[in-house]
Each structure stands twice: as structure tokens, then as C-alpha cells.
Copies of this chain bind each other. A is one copy, B any other.
């Protein structure tokens, strides 16, 4: 059995959202599973790399807003978010994910899709455990338990451990897909991932 692809992303990343819509299908075509691993751009970009948030960077912020709208049009995705609005606190959705992965692992990826959809297609705020629990949840997830789970010390520890591991693995951007030991950063590199899996690398 070949190793799953590691799919690193932040829920506040539009390119992470775009990749989330295609990664499972892409991997399945090559007989691979996907290990979904939320990370935090706030740790990788701001703390470790010492950069500004992407959308607050002069010149680049304007380009990225234009490019995100263009990519969304091309993929036929409706964006329900003002790209100038604050992304809010990225911790609750990521903590909710790891808490569910720990306790109801088969629901973790459906929750990730629901979180991405709520944030990017519906423009909802996910800044609190209650807001996270208030989205349309996958069947089988209890909203009250999820709110409590996302607010728990356990969830905070799970996320902290996962983020430290992502930094240790050299992950700095969302999305990053690691195929065996080969990292590919950027939603526009999914085609490279596809070709790499098809031909075994170059």
C-alpha cells in the first residue's frame, strides 16, 4: 500500500480551499489516500518566516485578491467572502478538526469540507468554537460536543503538536501536498502532483 499524500492547509487560505475540492479525487486516481493536516499560516508565515500576512503585503495583496477571484471563476466556485475582510481567528476550525480526527476520525474530512464551504462559499465567521459548531455539520457530529471539543485543552494540544510537526517538516504554505518525500507548494502545483504520481517522479 503506497503512503497517503500529506495535504497541509489552513482553513483561512483560499488556495487551500481550491485544493481541498480536488485533492481526494486526484489521489484516488493514483490509488492513494490523503492525510488532511491543517496547519497555521500565522505560525509558519508570521512567526517562523517573519513575513507579513499575504493579503496585507503591498502589491502582492492586490494581485492575490485578483487571482483568487480569477481562479474561482475558472473552477466555477462562488466565493461568498469579501477578500478585504478580516479572516478572524484561525484556531477554532483547526482545533475542531483535530478534535474530531481524534474522536470520530471518519468525520474529520467531511468536517473539513464543511468548514471550508462555510468560510469561503458562505462567508461565515469561524472565529469561535460556537461559530464552528453553528455551521451545517456532517451527519453524526453533535454541535454541542463539537463546540466543547473545539474549546478543550485537548484540541489546543492536538493542534499545537500538529503545527509543530508541520514546521518541522518544512511546511510554510497552504496548500502543500507531500508525495512520499516530495513537497509541492501551491494550488497551481496540483497538476505537478498529478504528473509526479503518474510517472513516479523526474
Task: Evaluate contact between B63 and A172: CB separation under 8 angstroms.
Answer: yes
A180 lies within 8 A of chain B by Cβ: no
| Interchain CB contact (< 8 A) of A59 among B57, B167, B188 | B167
Interface members, chain A 99-125 (any B CB < 8 Å): none
In the complex the two chains form, what is the Cα distance from A160 to B192 in whole Å?
A: 37
Give the bracket for the number of chain A residues in contact with chain B.
20 to 34
User: Smallest Cβ distance from A62 to chain B, in angstroms?
Assistant: 6
Which residue in chain B gives the minimum CB-CB distance to A191? B191
Chain B neighbourhood of A49, CB < 8 A: 52, 57-60
Contact string, A169-196, partner B, CB cutoff 8 A, digits 1/0? 0111100000000110110110110000
* A44 x B63 contact (CB < 8 A): no
Inter-chain CA distance A52–B172, complex, in Å, is: 15
A70 contact set on B, CB distance < 8 A: 182, 202
Shortest 4 CB-CB distances between A and B: which pairs?
A: A59-B172, A74-B202, A188-B188, A49-B58
Chain A residues within 8 Å of B, Cβ to Cβ: 44, 48-52, 57-60, 62-63, 66-67, 70, 73-74, 167, 170-173, 182-183, 185-186, 188-189, 191-192, 202
Of the A-B pairs whose beta carbons lie under 8 Å apart in the complex, a sample of 18, sorted by A's number, is: A44-B59, A48-B58, A49-B52, A49-B58, A50-B57, A51-B57, A58-B172, A59-B170, A59-B171, A59-B172, A60-B173, A63-B183, A70-B202, A73-B202, A74-B202, A186-B188, A188-B189, A191-B191
